[in-house]
Amino acid sequence: MTPSLEDNVITQLGEEGLRVLVRAFYARIPGDSLLRPMYPEEDLGPAEERLFDFLVFRFGGSHRYVEERGHPRLRMRHASFPVDEEARDAWMDNMQAALEETVEDQELRDSMSDFLGQVATFLINREG
């Protein structure tokens, strides 16, 4: 039986590997002219922490995200942001670069990219 994506992420990356991934992603946001305006300066650090906690939870680690914020309700939480296909693609371009920088295993990187792409597509709330 093939291990699940969740098992692979926690086994291969652990929380520290997810922290490195999320840090690499957020290091790209200040230079992204489309995404940067969606993050007020005072929210960059907290947004990084929220994404980290969500990914840890989603991939089978700590339940800190749910304990602190409740059910993810990702569409509701992103409703105020103009997420169209262009924003989705920009988010994924930055995440793909972060994955390539931080996740050595190609199969795991591809699986994570597929999952995150599905989530990003789910969050589209505007026509572009």
- Rounded CA separation 40/21 (Å): 21
- 86 lies in which domain range? 5-122
- Could you say which DSSP state residue 59 is in? T
Please state the rounded mean pLDDT for residues 59-64.
90
| CATH number (domain holding residue 20) | 1.10.490.10
- Residues with Cβ within 8 Å of 38's Cβ and at least 6 positions away in sequence, in order, are 81, 82, 87
**Residue range 97-128, pLDDT digits in tens:** 999 999 999 999 999 999 999 999 999 999 97
Residue 45 lies in a domain: yes
Q: Is 105 left (phi over 0), alpha (psi -120 to 50) or beta?
A: beta
**For the chain, how many helices (H) and strands (E)?**
7, 0
Residue 127 lies in a domain: no
Instruction: Provide, rounded to the nearest whole percent, the portion of the chain with pLDDT above 70.
Output: 93
Residue 58 lies in a domain: yes
Total count of domains within the chain: 1
Query: Would the pTM of this model clear 0.85, i.e. be above it?
Result: yes
Residue 128 lies in a domain: no
CB 25 within 8 A of CB 35: no
- Rounded CA separation 123/23 (Å): 21
